[in-house]
Structure 1
Amino acid sequence: MTNDHIKIGDVEPRIRYLGDGVQTQFGFTFPIFEDEDLKVFLGASAVPESSGYTVTGAGQSVGGTVTFETPPGDGVAVTLLRDVAIKRTTDFSESGDFRASVINNELDRLTAVAQQLSNQVGRSVRLADTDADGTLQLPPAGERAGRLAGFDAAGNLIAAAPGGTGALVSGFMETLLDDQDAAAALGTLGAQPLNGDLEAIAALTPDDGDLLTYADGAWTAAPPASSQTTGTWTPQLTFANPGDLSVSYAAQNGTYLRIGDFVHATFEIVTSAFSHSTSSGNCQIAGLPFSASGNIANGATNGLRWGGINKPGYSQVLTYVSAGSDHLRLEACGMGQSATAIVASEIPSLGSVVLIGSVGYRAISQ
């Protein structure tokens, strides 16, 4: 150490770096008196390193450098801390020499100790400067054993029991926290133990809106398939008992839109030849693209353009779909008349039949 005393500036006696696996030299800007005054820590270890590095700069006001033999690993914390022993290193004799360098060195040590104590206090739990008087002293070991560190209504540190008065957790969480192992905790939570299915699901990386599905022994997460479909169908004019019915069509078209289980179907039937002599029963339009759900009492009917039907006293013709059926029935209604089915005898043979309209109904789920 040189004859000039160390000059202790206003500097923190601690510095921290992160290693990159290459750097070996790490500087410190606070002065130390001897190499032993510097503690070197790697990672989160509370025990300082005792070897594997050298220190330069002891006795210099500007600090120094720690050089490692092996570079600290990438991301490994490197902490350099001044830790001067709190002891007196000088003794002044009665009527002896009172050298300035000796008293300066002693005052420098006292200042260094004050700085490291200030650093330790600043990194500890303490009351705010604006708080009223209180205590953060731990209760005796016997009072705090098996309890949690908490604060009472005045903000003072206490040993708090989980649950109960002044609880830090709910009663339910108290029963969970006292479980001795994972199996007991699962029982308290009513949770399913980890299994192959849960591991497979946890390994998925779904996007927002994806559906979780299980098929062929595997779990997948994928966007939902479109629930809307469109298509065509072929409407067919017939009767409950077709007999010798013969039909030729000038127009025979049908389209549908299905959204979920709801189906909106259109149809166009125009006959070019139509004859029957043994047909009987209600008139039907067969060939619906989807059978009606068994959960509906009546299918919804829409407007119908019609011709070739002879039912005196009735002015309207509607389509009707029964629960579970795959065809439409034709019904007639009129002022003061109850709705009734249109039967084969009310559609004259050799006439021209026109049925153009649409129907909405709920289909069997796919």
Structure 2
Amino acid sequence: MSVPNQVPIVTYTANGTTASFPITFDLHDERYLVVTVNKERPPVGSYAVNMEDGAVVFRTPPNNGDEVTLARDTVPDRQTNFESYNNSMRPEAFNYDLDKIWHFLQEQNLIDAISLARIKDEIEWRRTHDFNYDMLAQVREKQIFES
């Protein structure tokens, strides 16, 4: 099975009544799912991951306007030890290990995009503030030399 090109994060705005939020990306193991409400981890037991339906279900719906984020954070480890004598070289095992690599690469792409956006914001902030600093410096110099 090939891994589709996808963004491994989705954000919802809660309406106060909905308790189920769909997972819109591949998730083979719920250990790799990070759930946050307003950028904080909810208490243990406040939600359940329903892998059959592909959704996170909260026991109590989040408040109206809360930001619910579901993200995949795959750990780049390899637990399968393939052997030629014990039937472990099955396609399912290979597919899972290879999918895990692709998932990790997709997540790294997302991190790179977020980092680039932050760098762009920083450059823009410095550009505008440096311009303001230059304007203030020019006014100050004008006042000093006119005195």
Distance in 2 between residues matched to 1:74 and 1:88, nearest whole Å: 41
Counterpart mapping for 1:1-366 below 5 A: 8-43=3-38, 45=39, 47-51=40-44, 52-57=46-51, 64-93=54-83, 95-96=84-85, 97=87, 98-125=89-116, 150=123, 167-170=130-133
**Whole-angstrom distance in 2 between the partners of 1:172 and 1:29:** 49
The question of whether the paired residues in 2 share the 8 Å contact of 1:40 and 1:48 is answered with yes
**Offset, 1:108:** 1.2
d(CA) in 1 for partners of 2:76 and 2:95? 16
- In 1: Cα distance, 2:134 partner to 2:100 partner: 54
Q: Which secondary structure state, in structure 1, belongs to the residue aligned with residue 12 of structure 2? A: strand
Once residues 170 and 108 of structure 1 are traced to their aligned partners in structure 2, the CA distance between those partners, rounded to angstroms, is 51
Instruction: Name the SS for the 1:170 alignment partner.
Output: helix
- Structure 2: unaligned runs, 5 residues or longer: 138-147
What is the CA deviation profile of residues 85-124 of structure 1, one whole-angstrom value per residue up to 9, with x for unaligned ones? Answer: 121122224x444222211110111111122222222222
**SS at structure 1 position matched to 2:116:** coil
Q: Percent of counterpart pairs with the same letter?
A: 25
Number of residues paired by the alignment? 128
Cα gap change, 1:171/1:105 in structure 2, threshold over 3 Å: closer, same or farther? closer
The answer to whether the Cα contact below 8 Å between 1:39 and 1:49 also exists between their aligned partners in 2 is no
Q: More helix per residue: 1 or 2?
A: 2
* Partners of 1:53 and 1:69 within 8 A in 2: yes
Q: How far did 1:169 drift?
A: 3.2
CA distance in 2, matches of 1:85, 1:119: 15
How big is the shift at 1:171?
A: 6.1
Residue by residue, what CA displacement relative to the aligned partner does 1:287-333 show, whole Å, maximum 9, x if unpaired? xxxxxxxxxxxxxxxxxxxxxxxxxxxxxxxxxxxxxxxxxxxxxxx
Pair 1:67–1:7, CA change in 2 (3 A): farther
Q: Distance in 2 between matches of 1:172 and 1:10?
A: 47
Whether the 8 Å contact between 1:21 and 1:73 is mirrored in structure 2 is yes
2:132 is paired with a residue whose SS is coil
- The 1-side partners of 2:30 and 2:11 are apart by 18
Give 1:77 deviation, angstroms. Answer: 0.8
Cα-to-partner distance string for 1:7-29 (whole Å, 9 max, x where unaligned): 63222211111011111111112
Asked whether the equivalents of residues 26 and 66 of structure 1 are also in contact (C-alpha less than 8 Å), the reply is yes
DSSP 3-state at the match of 1:111: helix
Q: Secondary structure at the match of 1:89?
A: coil
| TM-score, with structure 1 as normaliser | 0.31
Aligned match of 1:311: none
**How far apart in 2 are the matches of 1:81 and 1:33?**
13
Cα 1:26–1:168, aligned 2, differ >3 Å: closer, same or farther?
same
Greater share of strand: 1
Query: Which has the higher relative contact order, 1 or 2, with Cα contacts under 8 A spaced 6 or more apart?
Result: 2
Change (3 A) 1:13 1:150: closer
Q: Distance in 2 between matches of 1:50 and 1:110?
A: 30
Equivalent in the alignment of 1:139 = none
